[in-house]
Amino acid sequence: MPARLSLVLFAAALLCCPAASTAQSAAPAASDAACAALLNTIWSTATAACVAGPVGYVCNGGSAPAVEPAGPVAAALAATGALVELSVVDALQTPALNLEAQAGGVAWLRLPAPERVTALLVGGVAVQDVTPPDFPAWKSTLVVTAPEPPVCPGAPRSAFVVQTPPGVSAGIVINGASLLLSGTVMVQTSEAATQFIALAGQSRVVALGQEQPLITGQQVAVPHAPGAYNTPTGAPSAPQPLDAALIQGFPVALLDQPVALPQPGYVTTAGQVNLRAAPSTAADLLLQVPAGAVLSVLGRNPAGDWLHVRLDSGETGWMFAELLQQFTGSIQAVYEATPQPPQRYGVLGQTARVIAPAGLNLRAAPDVSFAVLLTLPLGTEVTLLARSPYSPWVKVRAGEAVGWAALITLETQALIDALPVDFDVPPPPPPTRIPGSFGNAFPDPSRPGQ
């Protein structure tokens, strides 16, 4: 079956009457706790199967997808954790989340250089490579996402998310619109339009020769005729604050570079503004942000006089709201204490393995000057507990022992920046004095005893 025809059938299945959706609608509503537990299982399984997968491959992290070409390629991608070279896959459809069957689609497409783009499919998503000849595979992609609302509290809508590494930009085409991608953008489709939703960074969308900027917290729609997803019929819409319902519950920890979900809209600095560790002028000053900076909003404190923001560089902190120009929608994330960044699901977000050939010296505090508690041999599995406030060290548990280990001695897929900081540690030792400095005199070999 030609790949172009196969995607039409995939899209028809998603939009009309997928078996998974029928089963979902017939099943009783799941409780919040049961839904959360099942979703965590699905995300944890996908994490263990495909996080940190190789570039240039499709990795299946969930239920068996439909694949073109059929036969050996489709069979090779059926198992969770299966890897197939991206260049041999013409089209792919992941099944929608089905809590009754305890299943759902999750897959990664990692494009090779020069694009350096990773695509994550969650739920019912159909994609097809429509790249013209003589261009790299998957440079141009046709995307269709299932329209069903979340199947239970906390579950996400089906989505296709593309991401570049920090500081990297790439140009790709999605549904006939050029996406100049720098950061993380979610794509969702309806019968009449493709929505581009910025989760991180600043990108641009171009269609029919017209360009619109896409800042974190915004969304842009590109219209198309009903069902003709790959043929824009108009220019991109003016950017609007994102619809929070479209991104709610999305498992950001499955991304190669997890990001906290933004609130609708963004803010800018009119002058130099202090970025602080907590919503208080007494909190530690992290840095001073110059005028003209564009920042995404992650949340606010209960009084609403401080905003939790993120710079394009990834740094996060709090700014006094009155000092910012606000282009936001309704900010629903409200908290007093700064939340931890997203961490990997399952054991990969909590464990590490000793890779130092001579073993790891577990110490009483995060520096080589502190006492050795014991030595852990090569290959020992440890549980990650916290990170140091002043050095590249982590607090770990090995059996009954708890101590500090240098990151260089460990292998882990956990996100170190997402571990809590343990401030209850001795301060770092003072630097060793160099002879002749701080009032010390060098000895004079010509005058013994001096």
- Residue of higher predicted confidence among 438 and 43: 43
Is residue 424 a part of any domain in this protein? yes
Nearest-angstrom CA–CA distance, 322 and 141: 43
Quote the domain boundaries for residue 284. Answer: 265-328
198 and 272 within one domain: no
240 and 96 within one domain: yes
Is residue 371 a part of any domain in this protein? yes
Structural domain tally of the chain?
3
Of the listed ranges 78-82, 331-335, 406-410, 440-444, the one predicted with least confidence: 440-444
Decide if 346 contacts 44 (C-beta within 8 A): yes
The predicted structure's pLDDT at residue 2: 41
307 and 247 within one domain: no
Nearest-angstrom CA–CA distance, 211 and 206: 4
Q: Token pair for residue 250? A: 């999305």
CATH of the domain at 166: 2.60.120.1440
150 and 235 within one domain: yes
Q: Token pair for residue 433? A: 């004095």
Domain's final residue, options 328, 361, 382? 328
Average pLDDT over residues 412-431: 89
The predicted structure's pLDDT at residue 47: 96
- Nearest Cα to 313, choosing from 205, 392, 202, 213? 202
Note the pLDDT tens digit of each residue in 149-169: 888 888 999 999 999 998 899
The predicted structure's pLDDT at residue 446: 55
- Residue of higher predicted confidence among 23 and 297: 297
402 and 290 within one domain: no
Note the pLDDT tens digit of each residue in 78-100: 999 999 999 999 999 999 998 88
Does 25 score more than 70 pLDDT? no
b/e map 113-143, b = 16+ CB within 10 Å: eebbbbbbbbbbbbbbbbeeeeebbbbbbbb
Note the pLDDT tens digit of each residue in 221-231: 999 999 899 99
Q: What percent of the chain has pLDDT over 70?
A: 89
Confidence of residue 298 (pLDDT cuts 50, 70, 90): very high
CATH of the domain at 297: 2.30.30.40
- Please provide the average confidence, as pLDDT, over all residues in the chain: 90
Measured CA distances, 381 to 42, 348, 422 (Å): 24, 11, 21
248 and 270 within one domain: no
The number of beta carbons lying within 10 Å of the beta carbon of residue 298 is 25
303 and 357 within one domain: no
The predicted structure's pLDDT at residue 253: 96
Decide if 126 contacts 10 (C-beta within 8 A): yes
Is residue 104 a part of any domain in this protein? yes
Nearest-angstrom CA–CA distance, 227 and 7: 11
152 and 94 within one domain: yes
Is residue 357 a part of any domain in this protein? yes
324 and 195 within one domain: no
Is residue 43 a part of any domain in this protein? yes
The predicted structure's pLDDT at residue 164: 96
179 and 65 within one domain: yes
Domain's final residue, options 233, 254, 275? 254
Is residue 166 a part of any domain in this protein? yes
Is residue 304 a part of any domain in this protein? yes
- Reduced to 3 states, what is the DSSP secondary structure of residue 219? strand
